[in-house]
Structure 1
């Protein structure tokens, strides 16, 4: 008997349009011989099952819908929400309360990895190299000289809880720091200021595949812009080279540290993390636990290089969740 799969997409953050695109790609590639797939839009204005012109509200009491006079419940939720409430774990705690399986890690691991500061604080305890950083809450006194003395120039200013490079800026001067802080606060009440790491940027997918932790082929990021910003990520202003042009020694180091980070953070499901190789040593930047899932996105590119189709990738995620 086919399983009913709810593909949740949309969300409450600036990443809503990207998430809807990812969710529709998952819908397109799910194995229709095994699954009945339903596109569920989770939006600030409401939760709806959407099928062309059909738009049916979701019953939030048990996460069900009524279609053609029949009540439909779901065996598993495929999480394609970038940002809140999918990637930060909020909606996953709700599914746990209802006893509905989902394709992501536990809500706590998702909340932890969505918080850049907390993730870095844990990984530093395990001797994972990272950039130097300063952490600010909205309302804190800003002393630019202290920031520069800690992280130097240039530096990066990031919202602590956000993705897809929304709100991120690179500061080359003290004046840039103040404008960057203002920009970041538009996305989040907490921000992170990090030192610039000069080296090769790579993106590494690590997933649970056939009951084993699998590191996917590494992607090298070469941005046409000053850094890997939104335009570089989504509007073609970068080269994404898979497999990355690394030496065998560098590749071994990246694979080892990527697997260690995934294990230390007690992850499951999808992840894609960013690293900068400084003099051959990988430095961790951040982890995405609901990475882009379109045909052009980095993790699907890596899966393809590893001989895994999108149908196989998505099927594996659902089967792992159901087990």
Structure 2
């Protein structure tokens, strides 16, 4: 009997538009001969499942779908919400209580990696190089001049708990700082201000199962924009080279760092680590535990470059996590 797999998309932030693209990508990758696949949208309006072009209510008590007089029980949840509540640990904790296996990191690893400032400073303790940064909450008392003096221009100001470069600004002078801080606060309740690191931007994906580890080929990101902003990420204003034109030694170093990060944060499923290589030294930008999954996203590119199939990779992740839950029951 086929397993019922729900692709969960949506969310409560501006990244919902990216989440929809990832959901469609994942839907195209999943093996429909093996799984009954349902698109489940979670947003501020409610939880609904799309079946044959119509919407049906999802029962939050057990994450089942009311389909007329029938009830569809979900065997596996593939989470592709970028932002709250799918990337910050909230849904993960919910599924843990229901004993429903899911694709991404558990609640603790998700909460850790979702907070850029906390995650980067946590990993800094284990030898990872990261940019200098300052953290602001909405209650923070801060001195713009002191921050500018500590970090030097240019700097990046962005939501601390957000992604896809929404509300992110590269600031080159103090006259634009407050505007950029306010812009970042419009997207999240906290803000991270980071020093700018000049270099080559690369990204590397990885996943591990009980049987083996797969670290993908590296992608280099080249854009003429000020930085790898939303237009570069999703509107084609970028050149993405997979595998990256790096030395064998540097490639191995980035891949080993990615694998190390995977273990340190206690990851599960597919993650992606983003780096800047400056003066031959890799600096971690951030860890993404719910990476984009459109057909042209980094992970599908890297899977193809590795000579693998997205369908096979996702099947392996689903079956591995499903078996873990079954053994624990």
Provide the TM-score with structure 2 as the length reference: 0.95
Contact 1:257 1:282 in 2 (8 A): no
Match of residue 219 from structure 1: 219
Contact 1:49 1:58 in 2 (8 A): yes
Match of residue 19 from structure 1: 19
Task: Tell me the CA shift for residue 255 of structure 1.
Answer: 1.3
Match of residue 265 from structure 1: 265
Give the 5 Å matches for 1:1-323: 1-208=1-208, 211-323=211-323
Worse overlay, 242-251 or 193-202 = 242-251
Q: Give 5+ residue unaligned stretches, structure 1.
A: none
Worse overlay, 299-308 or 66-75 = 66-75
Contact 1:39 1:50 in 2 (8 A): yes
Worse overlay, 259-268 or 231-240 = 259-268
Secondary structure, in 3 states, of the residue corresponding to 1:58?
strand
Worse overlay, 119-128 or 140-149 = 140-149
Secondary structure, in 3 states, of the residue corresponding to 1:246?
coil
Task: Tell me the CA shift for residue 101 of structure 1.
Answer: 0.8
Q: Give 5+ residue unaligned stretches, structure 2.
A: 324-329
Contact 1:250 1:281 in 2 (8 A): no
Secondary structure, in 3 states, of the residue corresponding to 1:101?
coil
Match of residue 326 from structure 2: none
Task: Tell me the CA shift for residue 168 of structure 1.
Answer: 0.8
Task: Tell me the CA shift for residue 158 of structure 1.
Answer: 1.4
Alpha-carbon distance in 2 for matches of 1:176, 1:66: 51
Alpha-carbon distance in 2 for matches of 1:171, 1:258: 29
Alpha-carbon distance in 2 for matches of 1:211, 1:138: 45
Alpha-carbon distance in 2 for matches of 1:33, 1:52: 17
Secondary structure, in 3 states, of the residue corresponding to 2:167?
coil
Cα offsets for 1:81-133 (capped at 9, x unmatched):
11111111111111111111111111110111000011012111101101111
Task: Tell me the CA shift for residue 33 of structure 1.
Answer: 2.0
Worse overlay, 92-101 or 65-74 = 65-74
Contact 1:103 1:320 in 2 (8 A): no
Q: How many residues align?
A: 323
Task: Tell me the CA shift for residue 210 of structure 1.
Answer: 6.9
Worse overlay, 271-280 or 251-260 = 251-260
Secondary structure, in 3 states, of the residue corresponding to 1:102?
coil
Cα offsets for 1:149-184 (capped at 9, x unmatched):
211110111111001011111010011221111111
Label 1:263 to 1:44 Cα distance change in 2 as closer, same or farther (>3 A): same
Provide the TM-score with structure 1 as the length reference: 0.97
Cα offsets for 1:228-284 (capped at 9, x unmatched):
000110001111110111122221221121111111111111111110001111100
